[in-house]
Structure 1
Amino acid sequence: MTAGSRYLKRLNDGRNIWLDGELVTDLANHPAFRGTVRSVARLMDLQDDPELGPELTYTAPDSGARANLAFLPPATKEDVFRRGRSFRIWSDATFGVMSRVGGFYRSQLTGWYVSRDILREDCPQFPEKLARYYAHARDRDLLLTAAGHDPQVDRSKAAHELGDLYTALRVVRETEDGVVVRGTKLIATGGPYMDEIMVSPHSPKTAEERDYAVMFATSPGRPGVHLLCREPFAAEGEDNHPLSSRYDEMDAVLVFDDALIPWERVFINRNPEAIWKLRSDRFANAVSLHENVVRLASKLEFVAAVGTELAESIGITKFGHVKEKLAELYYQVQSVEALLASAEHRSKPCRPGVWEPDLQPIVTAKNLGNRYYPRALEILQQLSGAGLLQAPSSLSELNGPLRHHLRHAFRGADRDAGERLKLLKLAWELTGGGLGARHELYERFYAGDPVRTYAAQYAEYDKRLLLGKVDRKLG
């Protein structure tokens, strides 16, 4: 049985996936999910490919299991490079548009596993619990996502001040078997077809919010756990919908209806200081954001490729303003890839036997991404103009009654009408369709409020080499 086949089998765990007010009983064959599910399965199967498999996996030393390289704690600089190469193969396979089936949360779990002893005093059972869970996820090749934001009811108030039954997720009682949790968490990207979801606050909690400061892992199939999906952007037909037919990475809200979470999966309970200490761990952030920036480079390269094809297809590359716009797409890609290479080459040991990619270039690339990507889509729109709105509703019309007219009217400077219309359909999905709008919003905010992330970079930047430099030059 291939990795993809095992993944498809795991989906039949009784998960409560809600769409349009109805329970989805057959996720793999539902029209809103099947294209993406099949794409995920094909992605998993890359690990079984004779050529790509060794570039994506390693042998876990303690269990002998073949595991995805996202689970590899980098013990050398070469391990950092190996992880980066595997992330690029994985990202390129979906053009960078599938963010949660990659290695981000697998890498974050790996980072927490490596750093688990930082909570030995705060939570004595945490190191052993997390180590067992890490091995469980690694050896079974599980896909992970996370949910950590509270509902946006009244952001001027803390979670404990809202108080309704299904507001922010909180612990309502403890039992011999585990904790019972109630409430809602936003937003589990890819949640409906993931194996596991890590739940914890993504922002600091106060001492008054102790009941909300819980960190645990759950499968989507656990009783009392419901995933409420947004409107799907999935469409039928790869020719007319090349992205949304295959890569609609569904977002879901998690609703916990007095769900019992076993103690073995409760890593931190009612301890806001411990959760924030773990979430602030430098190593975990470095190894997880490493994957994130690799995916960003892949995605920007894809947009640059589409932009270049658009310009070539209508013969506008000779114009200066077009060259300027295409060059901007290229320097976006080159800037992110240069920062990524810097982070990898400047890797260093952060503790005995563990190497860490340099965090500052990674953070810089991540922060640039929330400005680069919307600008890249704007450039695609400018290159295409009204052409994006002129494609017929279906490529099948090229074989219809008006085929002779359409094959002349929609041909390009260097390609026939069929190839050009496929390109326009792809560009529209990136820039104008529902999936494209979702991705622009995602790249703007997936890492948090950009104002805060830029302010955090300022706060964390080592300014010692800058302070006093002008005074010294002026004598």
Structure 2
Amino acid sequence: MTIESPARPPATPLGLQTSTRYLDSLADGRQVWLDGQRIIDVAGHPAFTEAAHELGRLFDLQHDPALRDQLTTPAPGGTHRLSWAYHLPTTVEGLRAKRHNADVWMHESWGQHGRSPAFMSTIAVGIYDFRRRLGTNRPEFETNAENYYRYCADNDLVLAHALGDPQIDRSATPLDDPDLALRIVAENSGGIIVRGAKQLTTLAPFAHEVLVYLSASFANRGAEQFVVWFGAPINTPGLKILCREPFGHGGFGHAHPFGRRFDEQDAMLFFDDVFVPWDRVLLLHDGALAREGLGRINAWSQYVGQVRFRERLQSLLSVGLVLAESIGVDGFRNIQEDLGELASYIDILDYFLDAGEAGAHHTDGGLLAPAATPAAAVWAAQIASRCTEIVRRIGSAGILMQPTEADLASTELRPFLDTYMRGKTLPVDQKARLFRLAWDLTEDGFGSRQDLYEFVHRGDITRNRINLLHKHKNSAHVERVRSVITQPISS
């Protein structure tokens, strides 16, 4: 096959996205596949159009005079504006500006966009911050990292990241079977050629670029040649995007108000001898550096991710409160206790966010990074399903059976609906929409995907717990116990 180089970045920055520019940009020849068919018009396809237009709507908010300064800031040199998500923070004020930018993005999407541009842009910030360490792998990688960040920031690009390797045989390594990992099959003066796959790349059909990294796990088992980081345009020749079944498109009428708007899509990426120019390669064959980099480049995304999770919990709490009122159980002590538990988790997230700012530190890359809060990742994975369960238990069987909009419009059915399916505080039409919203958040395919996403997207919870244990196992408190048992304790 002929390997072609992807188009070079535009010399003149395009600046902030608009909905029109964003939607037009998705028609770039990308190979998006769904249900055995290649999708030529992503923005116009029924499975993707509402989600794509929702992202476009969010980009247009950056041009709203009421939100402009909260969402954007002048670029260095003042020739155009950048999203605060792409801002390189060097002060606490700059760090908080990223948080306030995320507040808008996450509020507008009800906390449902786990990989929103407001989140993914911070990964590019992390790549920039880690540039000098990448330069220890090869000097040119420092320049590549800085240029890649500036290209993404100046053009307000939507990023996806490809992390996980194919889930074929987790007991083996690519030394046993090279198809277990993305790998370099050739190098030449122009770049590298990669073959393989990456799984669960969220946002891929809606993105402009994909960042490939994480493969440090194989280095623990002697397979460092499979460690490779790079950035690639989504429309790179040879890159195929296989999408899962979309959510929110079953049922009737307005049955899935969130699923249709906020399904980010998850995809497998197949790299069929994809050419990556050297100026887009960021790291090669250094497992120790890759492991170090994973935490470094995600410092700001973890911080912004907590803003998103807080908004998701606020949405669940608000729906739960109105559900309880609508059927007259809001005065029950067990319901109040459950909702109070959910409210406590929202406050705890505020504490984590404040802790990140209070412990912020300057990195060797020259930026101000929020303090790491690894316990937050473990805690969030533990309580996420419980939060969904609280709302599910309040609505109970009522979540399963609600009339559609067509039912509500039926003159023959409506008297029965008004009599037997109304709520204590809401007429039947509002109660039906409320309960369908709860169904979308907690029970249907979209709600179940969101629940699973909360458990897996922060990384393996077992590994995260073990890492926390290692942090404490050699502490002074442990040594205190060792010392006190070396001889009998005196009375």
TM over 0.5: yes
**Residue of structure 1 equivalent to 2:37:** 22
**Residue of structure 2 equivalent to 1:276:** 291
**How many residues in Structure 1 have an aligned counterpart in Structure 2?**
467
2:342 maps to which of 329, 339, 356: 329
Mapped to 1, the partners of 2:253 and 2:455 lie a distance apart of 27
> Aligned AA for 1:219?
P
Cα offset, 1:286, TM superposition: 2.2
Distance 1:290 1:2, change over 3 A: closer
DSSP-derived class of the 1:109 partner: helix
Give me the TM-score of the superposition, normalised by structure 2. Answer: 0.90
User: Which residues in structure 2 correspond to 1:399-418 (within 5 Å)?
Assistant: 399-400=409-410, 401-418=412-429
2:195 maps to which of 177, 182, 186: 182
> Aligned AA for 1:395?
E
Is the contact between residue 131 and residue 365 of structure 2 (CA under 8 Å) also seen in structure 1?
Answer: no
1:390 maps to which of 401, 404, 407: 401
Deviates more, 1:312-321 or 1:235-244: 235-244
Cα offset, 1:468, TM superposition: 5.8
Is the contact between residue 87 and residue 102 of structure 1 (CA under 8 Å) also seen in structure 2?
Answer: no
Instruction: Please state if 1:373 is matched with 2:387.
Output: no
**Residue of structure 2 equivalent to 1:442:** 453
**Residue of structure 2 equivalent to 1:226:** 240
**Residue of structure 1 equivalent to 2:26:** 11
DSSP-derived class of the 1:160 partner: coil
Cα offset, 1:382, TM superposition: 1.0
Deviates more, 1:410-419 or 1:19-28: 410-419
**Residue of structure 1 equivalent to 2:174:** 159
Cα offset, 1:271, TM superposition: 3.4
**Residue of structure 2 equivalent to 1:201:** 214
Distance 1:133 1:229, change over 3 A: same
Instruction: Please state if 1:311 is matched with 2:330.
Output: no
> Aligned AA for 2:244?
R
2:80 maps to which of 65, 68, 82: 65
Mapped to 1, the partners of 2:474 and 2:316 lie a distance apart of 35
Cα offset, 1:238, TM superposition: 7.1
Mapped to 1, the partners of 2:463 and 2:366 lie a distance apart of 33
1:244 maps to which of 249, 259, 277: 259
Instruction: Please state if 1:84 is matched with 2:119.
Output: no
> Aligned AA for 2:75?
A
> Aligned AA for 1:434?
G
2:431 maps to which of 407, 416, 420: 420
> Aligned AA for 2:90?
A
Mapped to 2, the partners of 1:102 and 1:371 lie a distance apart of 26
Q: Deviations over 1:392-417 (max 9, x none)?
A: 2x222111021111122221111111
**Residue of structure 1 equivalent to 2:13:** none
Cα offset, 1:60, TM superposition: 1.9
Mapped to 1, the partners of 2:90 and 2:472 lie a distance apart of 26
Q: Deviations over 1:224-254 (max 9, x none)?
A: 0000111111327773211012111100000
Q: Deviations over 1:208-231 (max 9, x none)?
A: 534421111111111100001111
Deviates more, 1:324-333 or 1:119-128: 119-128
Cα offset, 1:465, TM superposition: 6.0
Distance 1:461 1:296, change over 3 A: farther
Is the contact between residue 31 and residue 234 of structure 1 (CA under 8 Å) also seen in structure 2?
Answer: no
Instruction: Please state if 1:46 is matched with 2:24.
Output: no
Give me the TM-score of the superposition, normalised by structure 1. Answer: 0.93
DSSP-derived class of the 2:255 partner: coil
Cα offset, 1:467, TM superposition: 4.4
> Aligned AA for 2:387?
A
Is the contact between residue 19 and residue 56 of structure 2 (CA under 8 Å) also seen in structure 1?
Answer: yes
Q: Deviations over 1:36-76 (max 9, x none)?
A: 00111001111111111210111121563311111112111
Mapped to 2, the partners of 1:349 and 1:179 lie a distance apart of 34
Identity %: 32
Q: Deviations over 1:7-63 (max 9, x none)?
A: 112111100000011100110111110010011100111111111121011112156
Cα offset, 1:278, TM superposition: 2.1
Mapped to 1, the partners of 2:211 and 2:17 lie a distance apart of 26
Is the contact between residue 313 and residue 412 of structure 1 (CA under 8 Å) also seen in structure 2?
Answer: yes
> Aligned AA for 1:399?
A
Distance 1:163 1:467, change over 3 A: closer
Cα offset, 1:83, TM superposition: 1.0
Mapped to 2, the partners of 1:469 and 1:93 lie a distance apart of 50
Mapped to 2, the partners of 1:238 and 1:340 lie a distance apart of 39
Deviates more, 1:17-26 or 1:409-418: 409-418
DSSP-derived class of the 2:147 partner: helix
Cα offset, 1:205, TM superposition: 2.7
Is the contact between residue 67 and residue 138 of structure 1 (CA under 8 Å) also seen in structure 2?
Answer: yes
**Residue of structure 1 equivalent to 2:11:** none
Q: Deviations over 1:345-389 (max 9, x none)?
A: 3324345853221213xx222221112210011111111111111
> Aligned AA for 1:293?
Q
**Residue of structure 2 equivalent to 1:302:** 315
**Residue of structure 2 equivalent to 1:94:** 109
> Aligned AA for 1:212?
F
Q: Deviations over 1:253-312 (max 9, x none)?
A: 00011111111111223333333332243xx33222101111111111111111111101
Mapped to 2, the partners of 1:159 and 1:230 lie a distance apart of 25
DSSP-derived class of the 1:18 partner: strand
Mapped to 2, the partners of 1:160 and 1:188 lie a distance apart of 24
Is the contact between residue 28 and residue 34 of structure 1 (CA under 8 Å) also seen in structure 2?
Answer: yes
> Aligned AA for 1:249?
E
Mapped to 2, the partners of 1:21 and 1:211 lie a distance apart of 33
Distance 1:128 1:63, change over 3 A: farther
Alignment gaps of 5+ in structure 2 = 1-15
Is the contact between residue 59 and residue 66 of structure 1 (CA under 8 Å) also seen in structure 2?
Answer: yes
Instruction: Please state if 1:217 is matched with 2:228.
Output: no
1:266 maps to which of 261, 270, 281: 281
Distance 1:65 1:467, change over 3 A: farther
**Residue of structure 1 equivalent to 2:272:** 257
Is the contact between residue 370 and residue 445 of structure 1 (CA under 8 Å) also seen in structure 2?
Answer: yes
Alignment gaps of 5+ in structure 1 = none
Distance 1:201 1:366, change over 3 A: closer
Is the contact between residue 204 and residue 266 of structure 2 (CA under 8 Å) also seen in structure 1?
Answer: yes
> Aligned AA for 2:353?
L
